[in-house]
Amino acid sequence: MDSPAPVDAARVRRRRSALPWRATAFLAAWIVIAGAAPAELAVGLVTSCAAAWVSLFLLPPGLHRLHAPALVRYVLHVARQSVLGAVEVAGLALQPRPPLRPGFVVAPLDVHGGARAVFCAAASLVPGTLPVRAVPDGGILLHALRCDRPVLDGWRQDEALFRAAVADAGR
């Protein structure tokens, strides 16, 4: 009978140090969504600890490193683009004949692994474009309301800001 593989001490240390940070982040998200009343907080505490534990296996620590200043720039950029996109889409909705040119565009994407899913989720928050699915060459099929505009220029800028925020996202 074979003995179990030795546990990688460095991996265990990374998981132990990541667990409280992740639990805190999940709890903060819970409070934003459900509130901080005692009953909600008790459920949120248990749920955030469980979510943090599961996240250690689904996205092990050390795969991607976050760069705080670049992450703040990216989050502010996405927030700004979301507001501007929402104003534009609202303006289009109020026009009797909006100048829409809907269609699909294949966008290159050099972000891999779990970071790819995070990037596409963030990109879906910006009104006017929506990642639809991956394409065989590694890119993403985007649906855009205004294909008469340079959709890919904005996509490339978003990707560059994201890659600056998440080191090793291109692996």
pLDDT in tens, 94-104: 999 988 889 99
Question: What percent of the chain lies above the pLDDT cut of 70?
Answer: 91
pLDDT tens for 112-161 read 877 888 899 889 888 888 999 999 988 999 999 888 888 889 899 999 99
**Cα–Cα distance measured from residue 136 to residue 53, given in angstroms and rounded to the nearest whole number:** 33
Write out the two tokens for 90. Answer: 């609202």
SS (H, E, C) 90-151: HHHHHCCCCCCECEEEEECCCCCCHHHHHHHHHHCCCCCEEEEEECCCCCEEEEECECCCCH
49/144 Cα distance (integer angstroms)? 38
Q: Which helix (H) or strand (E) holds 66?
A: strand 65-66
Sign of the CA dihedral with 81 first, then 84, 87, and 92 last:
negative
pLDDT band at 169 (very low <50, low <70, confident <90, very high): low
The DSSP symbol for 65 reads: E
